[in-house]
Each structure stands twice: as C-alpha cells, then as structure tokens.
Structure 1
C-alpha cells in the first residue's frame, strides 16, 4: 500500500491525531506509506535518523541490546505510537512479514504538534471570554498563524476592534490609504477591483479571512475594494499592531549571503516584479510571478521548497512572503530589496537579461518571449 493516508488513518495515530486538517495538508507529501519486506531491518540500535516511524500494516520485531523482544502488530494499541522514538534508537526493528510504515520528519512533526497544543490551550482560555470560537479556530487554521507565537495572537485579540456591518457595506475602498487590516468574524465579503464595466470580482472571503494587509506591507494605497454581501462582523487591527504582532514573526528577511546558502540547499529565487522589469534583468534561474498574480498562480509552486522573493525596494517581496505564508508556503524576502545592494553585488545577482523563466502548469518552467 502506497496510497496517501486518509483522515481516519491519521486520527488513529498519536500525536498525529491532535493536528488540524490544514497541518495534515502541510505534511501531505510525507503521508505516503512505505513498504518494508519480510526480514528487512527498518532501523538498527544506535540509528540517529531524525524520522518518526509508525507501523501501518504487518508485524515487526523490536529487540534491545539485552535481547529483550517485543512483537508489534499493526492495528494494536502499541502500533498507534511512534516506533522506538528515542535517539539514538534503543532497539533493532525487523519486519517479520511484509509491512507498511509511515516515516515523518521529526522536526516538522514536533513543530506542528507544539503549535497545535499551544493554540489548544489558548482556545481553552478564550472559551471563557467568547461565546463562540468557530471564527477563531478557522482563523488559526490559516497557515500564516503557524509562524505567529500564541502570545502574539493573544495580544492581537485584545487589540481588535469589532465592527458590525449591514449587507452591501464597504469595508475598504480601492485607492484609499491603508491604516489597518481586518478579519472576517461572521458573514461573507467580496474583493472587487475596478468599477462600472471594468468591475471584476477577484475573490469571495469567508469567516476567518484576513484582508487589507497588502496595503500595509507594501505601504501603498488599497489595490481593491471589499464589500460585505450579507450582514457581517469584521475585526479591525491597526497598522502598528499588525506590524508588531503579525508581520514581524511571519516576514523573514535574508541578506545575500544567507540567500546563497539557501539556494545551495535547493531554494528558488522568486521575482515578484512586473514581467517587463524582470525581462530587463533578473537573478539566474529566477521564476517570475508578479505580486498582483501571486495568489492566482501560487498553486503552481512547490510547498516543499523555500522561495526567496525579491523586488526593488523590498516592499513587494515582503508582501509576497506574507501572502505565501497565508497559502502554506515557506518564503524569505531579500532584505531591503535590490536597491539596497552595493552595485557590484546587484550586478552579480542580476546576471541574466532578456527572456526569463515563467511558471506553467504542474510547476514546470519555460522561457518567456
């Protein structure tokens, strides 16, 4: 069996059973059972691989240094827990029959479990202050909040201003100066760009959505209008609180030296400038995904890869990293952008000119014309 596991399977395994569906999606590439043939060793005593193993099918024999043996059968209570979790391993694990195991990166799993349990405690505390927490649970399921410390969330909730709106009300208008962002606590809202015959509905927002943050990140006027389509409650967060509590822990920045290290480990440059800017000069092998198209095209990116975003000033790239975090991707912004680099470094980075690389279906790239 090599099919991805179902929620039913995952809820039977500890500590996977405490994770949210969004967190399972973050792990999805790892949630594929691996076969081990009868007689083969899964791991030896002393093994230090940072992997967490679960037995899904078949039988395993665990044996420690004193020769004590434990026969483990899939489906038993013991098989619902990690195999020999201590490092270095204290036991050999040999397949008695053909078996199927799940192997997860331990660091990722520990991070997700710690985050989830921390927020469970927060939700329990807040249950005494709020009558209904469904909106907050949906808000915290946004991948963005995987990087926000629970203390920041608690502080953010204390500073939110609740506003009741009738259907048809406009929350923010395209072209206005942005001094805050909002969360949708109840109701639905539409994101609209343009007016009259040029009016275009870009998205529909549901409970838990954050909106209005792009103007704060880019320090530019609002790029769209948001109108509620049914009676709604929105929560307003002022610019200074947004920057301190949400942007700071989410928008990670790197210098050129650290970017080079990440590139060597498999990261990818993501140029979020306009295609015309990109084609004049861009980083080697960089993908071009203009900021205004990022939400639409992000599905073509790889959630298992780190993206290094850059633009001229650093403002568009900070916006891009925040958006990528909301969508479950890992990203860094080039600190202060291309304009802050010494001329020799800028010229060395922007070593390609003319046609560049564009993302196409399936995550493949091709040359632009």
Structure 2
C-alpha cells in the first residue's frame, strides 16, 4: 500500500481528525503508510525522533521500562491514537506480524493542529458565504500567522483596505519603498524581477497569497514587481498595522513547582487538548476546554480564580493563555507543555483518565458522570 490515506481513513485517527482537508493536503507526502515486517522495530526505548506514529494494520508489541507488555491490534480504539507520544519514548514497539504504520513529523503536525484549533471559530465567523472562503484558510496558513493570537488577526481584518482591481494592474513595483503588504482574495498575480530583456518571472500566486511583507520585515525596497493577471481583489495592510498586529504574544509561563504553589492557593488546571487526548490522561481535577471551544466555554470559568493551561507541546496552551488574559482572566501556561517534563513528573501530572470534570455556570467544578 503506497497511496496516501483517504480523508475517510484520516477521520478515524486522533488528533489528525481535527485538521481540515486543506491541511491534510499539506501533509499529503507524509500520509503514505509504511510497511513494517514481523520482528522489525518501529522505535526503541528512549528514542527522541520527533515523529507521530499510528498503527494501521497488523499487531505491535509495546513494552515499557518496567517490562510490562501490551499487544496493540490495528482497528482497536487504542490504535486510533499516537503510539507512545511522549519524548523520549517510554516504550519500545516491535511488530509481531507484518504491519503497516503511518509516521508523521511531529512538529509539523503540532503546528497545523495548533493553527486549526486556534483559528477554527474565526474561519466560521469570517466566512462570507460567497463561495470564496477557501482564500481565507490559505491566507491564514501563511507562516506569518504561526504565532499571532486570534484576537490580533480579528483586529487585522477590521483594518484591511479592500481594493477591486482590473487585470494588468501593477500592485507593487520593484525598487519602491515598502509601506504596506497585500493579501490576494481573488484572482492571480505574477511576480517579476528586472526590467526590459532582463525580466524574469519568479512566481505566479493564487488566492490566499501574501506579498509585499518581505520589504516590511527587512526594511528594504521592494525586490519584485507584482501584477494582476486577471480581474481580482486584494486586501491592503499598512506598515504600522502590520507590525502592531502580526507579532507573537507574550504570555506568563510557569514550571511545575510554581504551578503546585498556585494550585495550593486555589488555581485550577485547564487542559486545552482535544477531548480524546484529555480522556487518555489528564491532571487531577483538570477541566477540559479544547482550544477551539475556549472562547465559547470561558464564560463558565470563575474570574476570581487563576487557571493553569497545558497541552502536549505548550503551543496550544500559550494561545489559550493569551485568549484568557485578553478576556480578563488570570492565566498561566505550563512552560514547554507536558512533553517537556521528565517521565516521572509527566506520569504524576497526567494521573487521571476518563471523562473528567465539568465547569458549571456558577464557577463550580464537578466530576462528570
């Protein structure tokens, strides 16, 4: 089997099922199952390769450092989750039968997942219902937005100037001063460098593309000319707004020791991972409010209480912390996420499992049934 997994197959794997179809297409080269022969190792104890692995077919033997063994069969509920996700690996995995596995770069997956969960409600909010919403997701997938808080992006849309232009319009000219950047909402543009017989076509960009930002970031003249190839629509963002809005937030982070002190003073753990991730292991009495639902569910939180946000890598919890602080809460992110903790501390933190706890409208926390 050397073809990429279908979207239907991807929908059965957590957390891949939280990504959108355009994001799956970005991962397409990595979504090809890999064969594993009986007796072959998938990974060893202590392995630190940043890869997320899923069992698609066959049977694996998982063994931890205490010698405890677990047979994992493809198609079982456990096989729908990443294999031994914490790094360094606290288990070793060997194929008992010929098997098939999916191996994805963990950092890439985490970036896409954090982006999707952070921007999901914004995509729904800004969808204009005109059949052109694909440009928006393509635009927000630009690395420029990788660490930008959602509220900043929302504010940015209020400051964009919409320009409807005919084919042949020169939007940027090589050598001019960079005082803004553009996002292409509709149409195609050609990027060229040089003049006369020395002109060279560098690229052709489609809806969702950003251009002109290099001159702003480098504080240098435009290095290319950009021309519309067909009637189109571009969104202009001024230099001042670019630097004011497209910057990473600064959030308060705490280590496990400081977190323990805050918990003793009445703080509350807030797990911002997906429900399926939460149920496999979470902090004692931790509330589960996935990042993409946090804006809606934060009204259930107690404004007088401090909240300690955590996820696997620390990226989702940083976005969650920024959102809570913007909404008047006292919040902190666990520095580096749970994956940065030593194995003993990680196990001690994620000591509970199952449905967990719910927040009520009066600020109470109670166990779900």
TM-score bracket relative to the smaller structure:
0.5 to 0.7
Query: Do the aligned partners of 1:152 and 1:245 also contact (CA within 8 Å) in 2?
Result: yes
CA distance in 2, matches of 1:143, 1:26: 15
Partner in structure 2 of residue 272 of structure 1 = none
Partner of 1:116: 116
Q: CA deviation at 1:197?
A: 3.7
Contact 1:22 1:142 in 2 (8 A): no
Q: Could you tell me which residue of structure 1 aligns to residue 226 of structure 2? A: 226
Tell me the distance in 2 between the aligned counterparts of 1:172 and 1:204.
14
3-state SS of 1:233 partner: strand
Structure 2 length-normalised TM: 0.53
Residue number in structure 2 paired with 1:33? 34
User: Is 1:188 the counterpart of 2:165 in the alignment?
Assistant: no
Name whichever of 137-146 and 5-14 sits farther off. Answer: 5-14
Equivalent runs, 1:63-78 vs 2, <5 Å: 72-76=72-76, 78=78
Matches within 5 A, 1:182-331: 182-246=182-246, 248-249=247-248
* Structure-2 residue corresponding to 1:330: none
Tell me the SS of whatever aligns to 1:153.
helix
CA 1:196 to 1:109, structure 2 compared with 1: closer, same or farther past 3 Å?
A: closer
Q: Distance in 2 between matches of 1:110 and 1:176?
A: 38
Contact 2:36 2:95 survives alignment (8 Å): no
1:233, CA displacement in angstroms?
A: 0.7
Render the CA deviation track for 1:189-247: whole Å, top value 9, x for unaligned.
2223344444443322211111122222232332332221211111000001222333x
Structure 1 residues without counterparts, runs of 5 or longer: 251-369
Shift of residue 40 of structure 1?
6.6
SS at match of 2:192: strand
Match of 1:126 in 2: 126
Contact 1:39 1:97 in 2 (8 A): no
Note if contact 2:5-2:31 (Cα within 8 Å) is conserved in structure 1: no
For 1:55 and 1:206, the matched residues in 2 are separated by: 37
**CA offsets, 1:167-202, max 9 Å, x none?**
222222233222111111111222233444444433
Provide the rounded CA distance (Å) in 2 between the counterparts of 1:240 and 1:34. Answer: 52
Counterpart in 1 of 2:99?
99
| Greater mean deviation of Cα atoms: 156-165 or 132-141 | 132-141
The answer to whether the 8 Å contact 1:38/1:99 transfers is no
Q: How does 1:160-175 map to 2 (within 5 A)?
A: 160-175=160-175
Q: Show CA shifts across 1:332-361 (max 9, x none).
A: xxxxxxxxxxxxxxxxxxxxxxxxxxxxxx
Cα 1:113/1:36, change in 2 over 3 Å:
farther
Q: Distance in 2 between matches of 1:64 and 1:222?
A: 56
Q: Which moved more, 1:127-136 or 1:150-159?
A: 127-136
TM-score by length of 1: 0.53
Distance 1:199 1:90 in 2: 56
Kept in 2: contact 1:163–1:234 (CA 8 A): yes
Aligned partners of 1:42 and 1:95 also within 8 Å: no
Query: What is the root-mean-square deviation in Å for CA atoms of aligned residues?
Result: 4.1
Residue pair 1:84, 1:90 contacting (<8 A) in 2 also? yes
**Cα–Cα, structure 1 residues 119 and 166, in superposed 2: closer, same or farther, change >3 Å?**
same
The CA deviation string for residues 32-53 of structure 1, in whole angstroms up to 9 with x for no partner, is 6262524979667x99987543
Deviation at 1:17, TM superposition (A): 3.1
Q: Is the 8 A contact 1:33 1:56 kept in 2?
A: no
Matching residue of 1:309: none
Alignment length (residue pairs): 247
